[in-house]
Structure 1
Amino acid sequence: MPLTPLDIHNKEFGRSFRGYDEDEVNEFLDQVIKDYEALIRENKDLQSQVATLQERLDHFATIEETLSKTIIVAQEAADEVKNNSKKEAQLILKEAEKNADRIINESLARSRKIALEIEELKKQASVYRTRFRTLVEAQLELLSKDDWKALEPGNGEEGGQGF
């Protein structure tokens, strides 16, 4: 157990012949008591400061740990957002490619259909022209026959009407 100022104050020394001067010893002991009390107070103050500083250190260590965890969580969240964005971009790209393929295929099919319709219309136009030519030729042939001359005025047939 450590020595206290009271222990120093209550310490009694035995007397001997030609021993130390009692007043000097008492003065010295009083000085030792004062210095010892000052050291004890200073020690308590320092312990209090150490405790306060340790609390602050613990507080800052907790803040540092929290910040580290926050940074890690933020980094993980950023990585997750980045990965999700990449996946979403890939899905959008695949969907766009699918749509582009579908549009191209539909356009090609429509183009083929229109080309077939054009060919069919050309055939129909050719058939129509041929029929029309045949009709016109037949009509011209009818007009060039002698039967029409008999219908003309002045050929002696019925009172001819002028056409």
Structure 2
Amino acid sequence: MPLTPLDIHNKEFGRRLRGYDEDEVNEFLDQVIKDYEALIRENKEIQNQALALQERLNHFSNIEETLSKTIIVAQEAADEVRSNAKKEAQLIVKEAEKNADRIINDSLNKSRKVSLEVEELKKQAAIYRARFRTLVEAQLELLNLEGWDSLEVAPSLASENVRGS
């Protein structure tokens, strides 16, 4: 079970002759409590940010999926329009060609626009992933700093010094 600020606050050390200065120990514990609480708050904030970013990523993934389906539907619609235009062309060649060209051009323009939007969303998702990866890597680097190790070793050294006195 992880150590809580309240555990640190409530920790009492045995008293011995020529032991540590009680005021110094209490001041140090107060500082440890403040720092630990700040780290807990920061961790909670980072978790909240990660959840928010994951929700945004899910949202963009849903948009990407919807756009992919839209492209398929647009392509199917374009194929159907071409087929109908050929049938009409047999009956009224000139009029059918004019209508078919106009419809095909509109469909292609829409398809191009949708494709461009999909590419833009993919770029935005890649940027988001890169920024998120950078954030996570930066946090991991902070956790790997030597200062963290000294926080874990200091209480055990203090207890050894108290026993040795």
TM, length-normalised to structure 2: 0.51
**Structure 2: how far apart are the matches of 1:25 and 1:51?**
39
The question of 1:16 aligning with 2:16 is answered yes
Higher Rg: 1
Partner of 2:3: 3
Q: Which has the higher helix share?
A: 2
Which structure has more relative contact order (CA 8 Å, sep 6+)? It is 2
| Structure 2: gaps of 5 or more residues | 94-165
The question of 1:72 aligning with 2:75 is answered no
Q: What is the aligned-residue identity percentage?
A: 84
The question of 1:36 aligning with 2:29 is answered no
**Structure 2: how far apart are the matches of 1:11 and 1:86?**
87
Equivalent runs, 1:54-65 vs 2, <5 Å:
54-65=54-65
Deviation at 1:89, TM superposition (A): 3.1
Q: CA RMSD in A?
A: 1.8
Partner of 2:85: 85
Count of residues in Structure 1 that have an aligned counterpart in Structure 2:
93
Partner of 2:119: none
Q: Which amino acid aligns with 2:41?
A: R
4+ runs of 1 displaced by more than 4 Å? 90-93
**Structure 2: how far apart are the matches of 1:91 and 1:21?**
104
Deviation at 1:69, TM superposition (A): 0.9
| Structure 1: gaps of 5 or more residues | 94-163
2:49 aligned counterpart, secondary structure: helix
CA offset digits 1:33-89 (Å, max 9, x no partner): 001111111111111111111111111111111111111111111122213323443
Partner of 1:126: none
